[in-house]
């Protein structure tokens, strides 16, 4: 088979959680450009509709399906809506996430639960329900969005770091469990990207100075710079890769 042929994902059904903005939006647009039918999902209906409309305007296929990933019943409803519409799911990107910045002594149980439920528990719940269909299909691609902070420490985001370490290890465990069914489970661990999530940090001059020193490429990532890796992991090009954590960070984590 032509090697470029392996990157084609025409008519594959892909769910992108957190598709309303930032990295999720970029991946939704990218997968649609590569031919996938994309389900754009998050809490903000106007923004997921905007992303889906942009895909359709560009000649792609997309629907917007709202979800609050903290709500297990909401997840079930979102997946049921997708199954009614497309009848299957080939690619799942667990991307929805939050990153509140607080010192650990100021973090209360609600803060902890909020981060864990959004960033970690949701990926378990959505993957579990989607994997049932993928197991029947004997094929599927699950891509979890982790972070360099799943492996490096931050002194203002303890639950976030823990949730992303959990995502990386959940990726390995699910990869092992679901390999017999032809399901690839991989993780993308971004460094620092220019999205709403990092807006506050980007206003902090001393932090920016530190990042430019620490990142060998001397700049933050742009959202569309995650798309190539997402497409690789969503396509047949990555069929022999599972349980991997790929760092897309301009070299931030190498020293
Ligand atoms: N930007 C970075 O530098 C960076 C670095 C490492 C890892 N990451 C990871 O990359 C992913 C995307 O981050 P981003 O930078 O694109 O952040 P962002 O611009 O803040 O977008 C976050 C997305 O998650 C969605 N979301 C948040 N809570 C949700 C909930 N309860 N239910 C459903 N959707 C929810 C948001 O949509 P709604 O508000 O509409 O629900 C939004 O689409 C996250 O997992 C993040 O941890 C980002």
CATH of the domain at 72: 3.40.50.720
Residue 254 lies in a domain: no
User: What integer best gives the mean pLDDT of the chain?
Assistant: 98
**83/85 Cα distance (integer angstroms):** 5
User: How many Å apart are CA 72 and CA 190, to the nearest integer?
Assistant: 26
Q: Give nearest CA residue, ligand 1 atom 17.
A: 197
Predicted confidence at residue 83, as pLDDT, reads: 98
For residue 168, give its domain range: 5-248
How far apart CA 81 and CA 79 sit, in angstroms, is: 5
Q: Whose CA is nearest to atom 32 of ligand 1?
A: 68
CA distances from 228 to 26, 61, 110, 115 (A): 10, 19, 36, 27
Position 183 in a domain: yes
| Number of domains making up the chain | 1
What's the CA-to-centroid distance between 5 and ligand 1, angstroms? 31
Instruction: Identify the three-state secondary structure at position 13.
Output: strand
Residue 2's pLDDT band (boundaries 50, 70, 90)? Answer: confident
Shortest-distance Cα residue to atom 7 of ligand 1: 147
Distance 95 CA to ligand 1 centre (A): 6
Whether residue 41 is contained in a domain is answered as yes
253 within domain boundaries: no
CA distance 69 to 78: 9
> Which residues on neighbouring strands pair with residue 17, listed in sequence order?
41
Is residue 1 over pLDDT 80? no
Residue 160 lies in a domain: yes
Closest CA to 166 of 149, 178, 154, 183: 149
255 falls within a domain: no
> What's the pLDDT tens digit per position in 69-108?
999 999 999 999 999 999 999 999 999 999 999 999 999 9
Substitution candidate for ligand 1 out of 24, 101, 115, 120 with most atoms within 8 A of CB = 24
């Amino acid at each position: 088979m032509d090697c470029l042929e392996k990157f084609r994902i025409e008519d594959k059904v892909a769910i992108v959680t957190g598709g309303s903005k930032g990295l999720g939006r970029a991946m939704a647009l990218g997968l649609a450009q590569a031919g996938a039918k994309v389900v754009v999902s998050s809490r903000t209906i106007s923004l997921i509709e905007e992303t889906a409309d942009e895909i359709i305007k560009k000649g792609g296929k997309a629907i917007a399906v709202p979800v609050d990933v903290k709500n297990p019943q909401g997840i079930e409803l979102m997946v049921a809506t997708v199954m009614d519409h497309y009848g299957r799911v080939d690619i799942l990107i667990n991307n929805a996430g939050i990153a509140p910045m607080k010192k650990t002594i100021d973090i209360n149980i609600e803060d902890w639960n909020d981060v864990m439920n959004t960033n970690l528990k949701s990926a378990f719940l959505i993957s579990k329900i989607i994997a049932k269909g993928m197991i029947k299909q004997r094929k599927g691609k699950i891509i979890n969005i982790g972070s360099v902070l799943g492996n490096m420490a931050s002194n203002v985001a303890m639950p976030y770091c823990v949730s992303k370490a959990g995502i990386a290890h959940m990726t390995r465990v699910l990869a092992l469990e679901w390999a017999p069914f032809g399901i690839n489970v991989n993780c993308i661990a971004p460094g620092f990207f220019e999205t709403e999530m990092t807006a506050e940090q980007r206003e902090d001059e001393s932090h920016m100075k530190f990042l430019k020193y620490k990142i060998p490429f001397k700049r933050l990532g742009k959202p569309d710079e995650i798309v190539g890796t997402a497409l690789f992991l969503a396509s047949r090009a990555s069929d022999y890769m599972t349980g991997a954590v790929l760092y897309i960070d301009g070299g931030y984590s190498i020293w």
